[in-house]
Structure 1
Amino acid sequence: MEFRTLLLSTLLGLLFVEPGFGQRGDMNTGQWLKDKEELIKNLEDRVKYAEGCQNDVEALEARLNATVDELMRQKAEVDRLSSENEGLQTRLDATEEAISKLNQSSAKSAPQIAFSVSLANTGEIYRGPCTDKALIFKRVFSNTGDGYDQNTGIFTAPVNGLYYFSFSTYGYNTHAMGAILMKNSILQVSTYDSPTVDGSDSSSNFVVLQLAAGDKVHMELWDNGRVFDNLNGHTTFSGFLVFPV
């Protein structure tokens, strides 16, 4: 309203400051007033239009300000999320690095213990029957960790853990065939085949044992037992550490 009043006052002032207004006796005063009224009406219409334009501009400015505020809010939110994402990525990278180091450390620190042997390292060998029934496997395929002693046939556990052992035996029908897996001189599992009319027999077995460091595992013959081996590796003994405990 202030804008409209000011504009109308200015225009009206200009209308009524017409030179020689009081000296024009030949002018139709009624017509002059009518013309001025129409002019004023036109001016009022233009003022209304100008006011409408001004209102539209103010509305657009308000919407623009609201849009700018929303964009600023969204930018702040994006910046916050970006910062959080960087933090999460940093934590993820650190976690992956820690896991990688842990895996590498576990792989390096876990003892590597395994052996695999057979009875004969040359020619043919019949073992048994005999008083000393311990089987000494002379042909060493592998002995990682040096737990197996090929001079005594005894495996000594280097560390506490669960160990897997397997063995196979082969023999002929003249004697009982098979062997016994012993832990600290106590029978654990075995293979056995009594003398029969068939020509030969073979068998195998396995076991998982929990051993303390220093526990000893070896193979023995049955009483009056006999086994046979050659470079084909019929009679064997193997073991490895599954995991420490």
Structure 2
Amino acid sequence: MAIWALRLLTLLGLLFVEPGFGQRGDTEGSERLKAELIKNLEDKLRYVEKRQSDADALEARLNATVDELTRQKAEVDRLSKENQGLQKRLNATEEEINKLKQSSAKVAHQIAFSASLADSGETYRGPCTEKTLVFKRVFSNTGGYDQNTGIFTAPVNGLYYFSFSTYGYNSHVMGAALMKNGIRQISTYDSPSADGSDSSSNAAVLQLAAGDEVYMELWDDGRVFDNLNGHTTFSGFLVFPA
């Protein structure tokens, strides 16, 4: 703005210099011309000042924009670093979850049990109203079987293999049924006969949902026998989760 103002003032000074010669009419015309030139120059000066003011305002806005962009970039950089930290923690968490899943899968695959009816001496079961057989002598149990109730409860969904054997004497019906949630699945059976004793066995693969119960149940008026030789047994294991 100072350079433009200086140039305009110089022009104004030249306009006000008196001519050295000429007529009065020329002087009057010259005065009018000077007045018009002065007005034009003043208008241009105001225009230049206005443009300069606009340029200053624009520069101020640009500077403010640059400052804001600088601030935003700093914020983006901070968030980027924070996101990298979060991503590392997320990756570590996912890795830990995968390890836990693998560990759980391994535990889920280790489901098996095997037990016989008598844990000491000789044991007769039946005839009785409480027909669920409780196998007390546990050979192995990695999960699911309760030796206090005789019930196996499936820990996970899957296909399970069950087998059992029964032994008894000819004075009573001999045999038992494999039950799933109160519904008979398979069984062994031998009616009273002239021979001294009877034994039988059976097996099945059952589809179980987590929480399903499987157990052995006597026939009505049935009886089974066991001792430490393990004649009457109940076993099962998870084939694979499904």
Alignment TM-score > 0.5, same fold: yes
Tell me, yes or no, if structure 1 residue 116 matches structure 2 residue 95: no
Q: What's the CA shift string for 1:61-99, capped at 9, x where partnerless?
A: xxxxxxxxxxxxxxxxxxxxxxxxxxxxxxxxxxxxxxx
- Match for 1:170 among 167, 171, 174? 167
Q: Distance in 2 between matches of 1:109 and 1:151?
A: 23
Cα distance change on mapping 1:114 and 1:173 into 2, 3 Å = same
| Deviation of the 1:139 alpha carbon | 0.3
Aligned equivalents of 1:180, 1:239: Cα separation in 2: 15
Question: Which residue of 123, 134, 141 corresponds with 1:143?
Answer: 141
**What is the DSSP-based 3-state SS (H/G/I as helix, E as strand, rest coil) of the residue aligned with 1:108?**
helix
Q: Distance in 2 between matches of 1:109 and 1:118?
A: 24
- Which amino acid is 2:230 matched to? G
User: Which digits, 9 at most, give the CA deviation of each residue in 1:95-136, with x for residues without a partner?
Assistant: xxxxxx99xx48736431000000000000010000111100
Count matched residues. 143
- In the TM superposition, what are the counterparts of 1:12-91 in structure 2 within 5 Å? none
| 2:124 paired residue among 119, 126, 131 | 126
Q: Percent identity?
A: 82
Displacement of 1:230 in angstroms is 0.0
Superposition RMSD in Å:
1.9
The aligned counterpart of 2:191 is 194
Alignment TM-score, normalising by the size of structure 2:
0.57
CA spacing shift, 1:150–1:209, aligned 2, 3 Å? same
- Tell me the secondary structure at the aligned position of residue 135 of structure 2: coil
Correspondence 1:241 to 2:238: yes
One-letter amino acid matched to 2:207: Q
Report the Cα distance in structure 1 between the residues aligned to 2:218 and 2:241, rounded to whole angstroms. 30
Query: Secondary structure at 1:171's aligned position in 2?
Result: strand
SS in 1 for 2:175: strand
Q: Secondary structure at the residue paired with 2:106?
A: helix
TM-score by length of 1: 0.56
Q: Write the letter of the residue equivalent to 2:118.
A: A
Structure 2 partner of 1:3: none
**Aligned mates of 1:159, 1:108 — CA distance in 2:** 12
Moved over 6 A (4+): none
Pairwise CA distance, 1:174: 0.1
